[in-house]
A = this chain, B = another copy of it.
């Protein structure tokens, strides 16, 4: 199926009517040149959707944003880097609310029309006075081309700002979806989180927007793993303001399918960027399991391979170690019969029917020597399949995460 969308520049401000920007307020004392607060704003009414970490330890902004999302006409997102506002107790909730309250008063909104995200150090109170002093300035500095600034302000250990946007047609109207994200890497001892903000000028109702976003997150951010640790702050938020003037998108319609595919492109692109920019990453690996007896078996097997410390160390060393892959499938819980399993490195068969193939070791080594490669597994038990993006595990990863 050919693309019905094309990539454009502009990130979250590519869609009509959205403004964004950033400011430095001093959460990260170390680098005053690097902004640490971002804001995204729609002067027009929107509908909003979101998905949040399933970790039972939820950062304060996650709790506040989830509550605000239940209301209508959310207009703005305020976010900071450098401090996660997680494990901060009742005081943390109050601080997150103060962020939304200050942004709301600066933008002429109600508190519940603002969503809030934080990423950074866990367990340290936010310097809310400094932040409140900056939020007013930030809100008057927002621009129609402010996406890059916002993407940069939410970076922690990310080495590049992550932005993407697409344009497509719905019954003759140009519609845009744009997104920014920050990575699943760590920097400083306590940081970890992925954040993603998506905007669209499509006209769509709230339930349909949530449905499309949930599907899209399942196919993108829920399929990436760097270190297997799930953050307390992971958040994906989406705002739709209807500025494109299309007819309201209806779930199940061909137009909705076009919208879904365009949205998937945005989220999958950002998810891939997060993995590629993971800390200490030297290899980007697609793990595909097919022929599984069920979807859940395919997922278990793929995730066990993608999260195996031993498999990831072998990739770092350029070792096409299929024994560790077989081992991971075996303990994954997926139904499997050892004697049926085939394993491929970039299309080269490494394991045939559970035992070593005739492929020369040197050819498998060449596949794993690449910066990007694919590992495919066929369980030969059914038709279910699953795919995950993952990385190697390097000495640099350990060094970056061993603390101060």
Contacts and interface: CB of A to CB of B under 8 A. Distances in A.
A338 B92 CA distance: 13
A360 interface: no
Contacts of A54: 331
Interface string A355-382: 1100000000000000000000000000
Quickly give the copy total for this chain: 2
A239 B394 CA distance: 43
Contacts of A308: 228-229
A310 B232 contact: no
A81 interface: no
| Interface hub of A84, A318, A393, A401 (most chain B Cβ within 10 A) | A401
Contacts of A351: 87, 123
A171 interface: no
6 contacts: A55-B330, A56-B329, A87-B356, A189-B317, A314-B402, A317-B403
Given A89-B354, A189-B319, A393-B398, A229 B314 contact: no
Given A229-B310, A399-B395, A327 B55 contact: yes
A209 interface: no
B231 A192 contact: no
B56 A227 contact: no
A395 to B, nearest CB: 4
Interface string A304-318: 000011100110111
Contacts of A231: 327
A352 to B, nearest CB: 10
Contacts of A123: 322-323, 326, 351, 355-356
A326 B356 contact: no
A321 B403 contact: yes
Contacts of A98: none
A314 B87 contact: no
Interface string A144-166: 00000000000000000000000
Contacts of A55: 327, 330-331
Interface in A215-239: 227-232
Contact of A394 (B189, B316, B323, B398): B398
Contacts of A88: 355
A353 interface: yes
Nearest to A327: B232
A122 interface: yes
Given A313-B403, A314-B403, 4 more contacts: A55-B327, A227-B310, A229-B328, A313-B398
Given A189-B314, A402-B316, A229 B330 contact: no
Given A122-B326, A229-B331, A326-B87, A310 B192 contact: yes
B229 A338 contact: no
B314 A57 contact: no
A56 B331 contact: yes
Contacts of A124: 356
Interface string A82-107: 00101111000000000000000000
A123 B326 CA distance: 10
Nearest to A392: B402
A296 interface: no
